[in-house]
Chain A
Amino acid sequence: MRIKTQIFDSIIFGFLFVGSIFLVRPPSEEELLNLPMNTMVTLGCLALGFALSLALNQMGIKTLGESIFEPPHKKAQNTHSWYKTFWGWQMLIAFLAAFSAGIWVTEFSITEILSEEGFAGAQRIFSSLLTPNFEILPRAVLAITETIFMAFIATTFAIPVAFVLSFLCAKNIMGKTTPGLILYASLRTLLNVTRSIEPLIWAIIFSVWVGIGPFSGMLALLLHSIASLAKQYSEIVECVENGPIEGIQSTGASSLQVLWFAVVPQIILPYVSFTIYRWDINVRMATVIGLVGGGGIGTMLIQYQGQALWNEVGCLVLVIAFVVWLMDTGSAYIREALK
């Protein structure tokens, strides 16, 4: 509890100190790129923040970190209005600082949005998009078919792998023994890493491996689907009711029988529902993956966009929007019916 509080407050205060330095003495372009120097400054600020947070704790002033991480029974006693507390102001100031920094970093500019010249350019593209060239429709239909099947195959191959992994990644199944817990933790970490690497990056890796085309895109989707499905599946497994498990156990059934008869019937419908949703997501992702040569309609899209053929792009966008809408609606209806 204590250490979480300190780390949280150190980051908040450290961030405010770094921000103040920027305000007091704006760094030059050259200084901004000096990573070792900046790391030192940031670490120094964090250390200062840590010291400040310790000092505040000593003085008995409740910081934001403390109020977040304190145990529930203490939270129940808080009756002060937030603006009468230190942590309330700490939160407000930290948010305002982050907001202003964000506005500055993203180069937020009202004048650019309202610039007539820029708007005219966007308008030109928009009007071309809105007058699509339907001559390429036959090819677009073929390409989107490829995309849908890419998503379908990726989902299908991911199901059995994710199904098995889901039990190995469920804490209520694996958490009872030490080797089980180790396997659980390492698999979870592996899947989290896989999932946090965007399918776009995987597609680039696989297109080098197996060549540009739908196969590399499918492999990228497959990997991402396995990681995502295994996580979602395992969360369902973690929510199963213990009653039927005890019931089957008490008949003298083996562990596999318990899994099959007590756990599987409880998880099968949510599994189907998540799987259909995953296919739906994969169709949308396959489009993006096509942009880096993963095949399907995305590849077509990047070709026409590169040549600034906006009328053709308009046709593709329409086809994509139609299919995504269809999948989205269909999968929502099916998932609703399965509940």
Chain B
Amino acid sequence: MSSTNSSQSPLIQVKNLVKTYPNGVRALKNISFDVYPGEFLVIIGLSGSGKSTLLRCMNRLHEATSGEIVFKNEDITKTPSSKIKFLRRRIAMIFQHFNLIPRHTVLSNVLMGSLSRTATLASLFKFFSAEDNAKAMQYLKLVGIEEKAHIRADQLSGGQQQRVAIARALTQGPEVLLADEPVASLDPATCHNVMDYLNKVNKELGITIVCNLHFLSLVRQYATRVIALKQGEIVYNGSPKDISEDWFRKIYGEDAREVHVN
């Protein structure tokens, strides 16, 4: 898969990315890699290796300290703040803790994906266009919970909430989906269910996915390419099949043992 991709031109080019937090923590130290269209790129690494920071730099939730992130010929680290909403519409994101609005209904949460297209005043009174409503229902159907549309989001299980988050992201009409540890707070069975939906989004809708993961067994099953981060640096970039025992130890430390999720 990765060999076919590399013949295409990259969708996102990360060049010499550095992120130093105000407290002096160097989360990313000179990271460079490419993301190709249609990839399911997985980023692995220990907690604190900089995975979340990396994703948040890619949609400007965090500001990079230096370096470039080129998305379709535009260096998005320099996108003016007035244009960031257009950038975020095209690069959607889902989170470990789903980050839904608990007191709103499922449908209302999914409609949040249309906020950037809706005039602020109209959106405050939840006047979303019929088209946006139809789109929201369509994506709820895609993740298989359209029957829960009018239930409050906090009534759903973790896996269902993550699927709502996926539907919200899809409603934005994105080209890229960033997934920050999407299954880290789910049980193993639900884990696969959510990963399957992400796979569907990737394969059926052709949306490029950049996903942070913990479990190597999931990586082997879903990723088309893997990047491993260790203390803010890339230590592996290649096919998931080639991650050997030695590589594993290098990424996770000498004493690490692989845990399988079935």
Contacts and interface: CB of A to CB of B under 8 A. Distances in A.
Interface string A241-277: 0011011111111101100111001000000000000
A261 B110 CA distance: 12
B95 A246 contact: yes
A261 B100 CA distance: 10
Nearest to A243: B99
Given A251-B168, A252-B84, A246 B61 contact: yes
B112 A253 contact: yes
Interface stretch (B5-13, B116-124, B252-260): B116-124
Contacts of A253: 85, 112, 115-116
Interface class of chain A by DSSP? helix
Contact of A250 (B61, B103, B104): B61
Given A256-B120, A257-B120, A257-B124, A250 B92 contact: yes
Nearest to A242: B99
B95 A249 contact: no
Interface size class of A (residues with CB under 8 A): 10 to 19
**Residue among A244, A249, A250, A254 with most chain B CB within 10 A:** A250
Contacts of A244: 99-102
A241 to B, nearest CB: 9
A338 B112 CA distance: 26
Nearest to A262: B101
Contacts of A249: 61, 88
B84 A247 contact: no
A265 B84 contact: no
B165 interface: yes
Nearest to B168: A251
A260 B103 CA distance: 13
B123 A257 contact: yes
Contacts of A265: 101-104
Contacts of B172: 251-252
A262 B89 CA distance: 17
A251 B89 contact: yes
A260 B116 CA distance: 14
A249 B115 CA distance: 10
B113 interface: yes
Given A262-B101, A265-B103, A247 B165 contact: yes
B116 A252 contact: yes
B87 interface: yes
Nearest to B89: A252
Given A256-B120, A257-B123, A260-B124, A251 B113 contact: yes
Interface residues of B, number: 30
Nearest to B91: A250
Nearest to A253: B115
A260 B99 CA distance: 15
A75 B103 CA distance: 42
B87 to A, nearest CB: 7
Contacts of B99: 243-244, 246-248, 250
Nearest to B171: A251
A261 B116 contact: no
A58 B85 CA distance: 59
Contacts of A251: 88-89, 92, 112-113, 115-116, 168-169, 172
A260 to B, nearest CB: 5
A261 to B, nearest CB: 6
A254 B112 contact: no
Contacts of B192: none
A261 B61 contact: no
Interface in A217-257: 243-244, 246-254, 256-257
A131 B67 CA distance: 84
Contacts of A261: 101, 104, 112, 115
Contacts of B210: none
A76 to B, nearest CB: 22
Interface in B69-126: 84-89, 92-93, 95, 97-104, 112-113, 115-116, 120, 123-124
A243 B115 contact: no
B208 interface: no
A337 to B, nearest CB: 16
Nearest to B96: A243
Contacts of B212: none
B85 A254 contact: yes
A248 B115 contact: yes
Contacts of A248: 99, 101, 112, 115
B137 to A, nearest CB: 17
Interface string B42-86: 000000000000000001010000000000000000000000111
Contacts of B88: 249-252
Given A247-B99, A262-B101, A265-B104, 12 more contacts: A243-B95, A243-B97, A243-B99, A244-B101, A247-B165, A250-B59, A250-B88, A252-B86, A252-B88, A254-B85, A256-B124, A261-B104
Interface of B: 59, 61, 84-89, 92-93, 95, 97-104, 112-113, 115-116, 120, 123-124, 165, 168-169, 172
10 nearest A-B residue pairs (beta carbon): A247-B99, A252-B116, A252-B88, A252-B85, A253-B115, A250-B93, A252-B89, A243-B99, A265-B103, A243-B97
Interface of A: 243-244, 246-254, 256-257, 260-262, 265
14 contacts: A243-B99, A244-B101, A247-B168, A248-B112, A250-B61, A250-B88, A250-B95, A251-B115, A253-B85, A253-B112, A253-B115, A253-B116, A261-B112, A262-B101
